[in-house]
Structure formats: structure tokens, C-alpha cells
Amino acid sequence: MIPARTWPLGRAGVHLVLILYTALCLGPVLLVVMNSFKSRAGIFGAPLSLPNAATFDLIGYKTVLGQGAFLRYFGNSLIVTAGSLAAVLLFGAMAAFALSEYRFRANRLLGLFLALGIMVPIRLGTVAILNMMVAARLVNTHLALILIYTAQGLPIAVFILGEFMQGVSKDLKDAGRIDGLSEYTIFFRLVLPLVRPAVATVAVFTMIPIWNDLWFPLIVAPGEATKTVTLGAQVFIGQFVTNWNAVLAALTLAVLPVLVLYLLFSRQLIRGITAGAVK
């Protein structure tokens, strides 16, 4: 059998490619984490080496955590991300349910309209969005960012969740109707638990760009009270002097919440990604 003989070699090749890619992805992150534990001299002296007794220094973390504002930035990021995520998932799932479950005249058109958002980058509308936010007096509020990110995340959420919801057995929903469940109960109790892997997938894909975004916080909410972590880390980057210890420490800390959430979602995520592929 030919496939059996070439299999181990092919597998090794695949693994080699995957390992290289993993190294490529993780390298910069490792570099940031490693150097965040080193003194300034350590960072510049040997940027690629692990921290040792001579170079180990927590000065970066001390600077970051010592500056009270940083915790607030963290809080802002959490509020904005959690708020947008909740809105995207709730409204995205509801829209997807309506589009996949109910037959009405503009169904197709509405689905297409919502999918358009996937193709048009929201940043193209920055000026108009800023004007809107100024007019609505929402500049420098969490709500401004939450609204923008909800709009940004909804199209893909509706698209992915809609696909999955179409896969939920029609009989199951009908059984619920015969048992006297309301449409909301059918949605929350029957359909949503069944598309949980898809929800987790959408959650991760939605959450990461929001947490990492620099653009909209810089433009719509740069005020001290609403600064997010990514924007806050920029205070250590000066025009002439950059506090690299602090920048790296801030970035390392900023990775943590996303990492935790990712670990929480990851099992579901993998199921969500493979569900469509295998069936």
C-alpha cells in the first residue's frame, strides 16, 4: 500500500511546517515576555537570551503597576471588551436565529446586507463614526467603543452563527413549539446550547481584535478616564526616550486576560472549527 509507506514521511513534513509556523507565531510573544523580566541593560545587551541572575529585574512591572492609571486602563479594556462581546453574541445569535428560522419577505436581502459588513472594513468609516459620536456626545465614553465594536463584530457573528443554526434540527424546534415553549425559550434553551461551539468560536474571533485595538480608542476615546490597555501602554513610548521595561511588562500583562479567556473557550473553539469541516 503506497499511502502507508509514505505516511510517516508526509507526517514528519507536516509537523515540520507546523512547528516552524508555531515558532514564527510564538517567537515575538516569547521575546516580549522574556525581556519584560530583564533590566534595561539586559534587554539591550542580549535581547535573545533568557533572564539570568545578572539581568533579572522586575522594574518594568513595578513601573507599570506603580502607576495607578494602568489598572484603570485594564479595567477600561475589560469593560469595553466584555460589553461588546456580550452585545455581539446576544444580538448576533438572535439575528442569526431569526434569519435561519423565519421565512419572511426580506429574509435573503437582510442576510446579504448583514454579510456586507464582513467585506467592508469598518475603519473606512472612521471619520463618519467620529462625527456621529461627537454629535451624540459619546466621545470619551465606554459606550462609544462598545457600539463601534458591536457593529464591527456583528456581521461575521451573524454569518457564522446563522450557518450553524441552520444545522439545528427543525423537528427539535417544532417539538419545543408543541410542548408550549416560547420562541425565546426555544432560542435560549434549545438552540443556543446546541450551537455553543460556534458561539465560542465567534467569541474568540470577536474578542481578540477588540482587546488589541489601538485605532478606535485613540480616535474616539483617548481621554484618561477611558483609555484602554493598548493605548495606555503607549504612554511609555516617548518621542525621545522609551521605557522599554514598562512597555514590555504592560504588553505581557495585556496578553493575560485574553489568554485566560482563550483557554476557557479553546475546547469549544476546536469543536466549532472542526464541526463544519468533518460533517
Partner 1 sequence: MGSLALSAIRKSFGAVDVLKGVDLDVAAGEFVVFVGPSGCGKSTLLRIIAGLDEQSAGDVRIDGRLMNGVPPARRGIAMVFQSYALYPHLTVAKNMSLALSQEGVAAADIRRRVETASALLRLDALLDRRPAELSGGQRQRVAIGRAIVRQPSLFLFDEPLSNLDAALRVGTRIEIAKLHRQLGATMVYVTHDQVEAMTLADRIVVMHGGVVEQVGRPLELYARPANLFVAGFIGSPTMNFIGGDAAARASAATIGVRPEHLVVAREGAWTGAVSHAERLGADTMLYVDVPNVDVLGAGMLTTRILGDIDYDVGDRVGLTPQEGKVYRFDGGGNSIAA
**Residues in contact with 89: Cβ distance below 8 Å, sequence separation at least 6, in sequence order:** 157, 199, 202, 203, 206
Q: Does residue 175 bind partner 1 (CB under 8 A)?
A: yes
Binding residue for partner 1, selected from 2, 180, 239, 240, defined by CB under 8 A: 180
Do 156 and 93 contact (CB within 8 A), yes or no? no
Binding residue for partner 1, selected from 118, 181, 208, 258, defined by CB under 8 A: 181
Of 116 and 172, which CB lies nearer to partner 1 in the complex structure? 172
Binding residue for partner 1, selected from 131, 166, 169, 274, defined by CB under 8 A: 169
Of 64 and 165, which CB lies nearer to partner 1 in the complex structure? 165
Stretch that binds partner 1, among 73-81, 175-183, 212-220, 237-245 (CB under 8 A): 175-183
Of 68 and 193, which CB lies nearer to partner 1 in the complex structure? 193
Of 163 and 183, which CB lies nearer to partner 1 in the complex structure? 183
The C-alpha R_g of the chain, in whole angstroms, comes to 23
Taking the CB of residue 181, how many other CB atoms lie within 10 A of it?
16
Do 259 and 212 contact (CB within 8 A), yes or no? no
HSE-up of residue 119 (Cα within 13 Å, Cβ side) = 5
For 3, counting Cβ atoms within 10 Å of its Cβ (0-12 exposed, 13-18 middle, 19+ buried), the class is: exposed
HSE-up of residue 8 (Cα within 13 Å, Cβ side) = 1
Q: Does residue 172 bind partner 1 (CB under 8 A)?
A: yes
Binding residue for partner 1, selected from 179, 241, 263, 277, defined by CB under 8 A: 179
Q: Give strand pairing partners of 56.
A: 38
Q: Does residue 274 bind partner 1 (CB under 8 A)?
A: no
Of 172 and 237, which CB lies nearer to partner 1 in the complex structure? 172
* Site size for partner 1 (CB under 8 A): 14
Contact residues: partner 1, CB under 8 A = 169, 171-172, 174-181, 190, 193-194
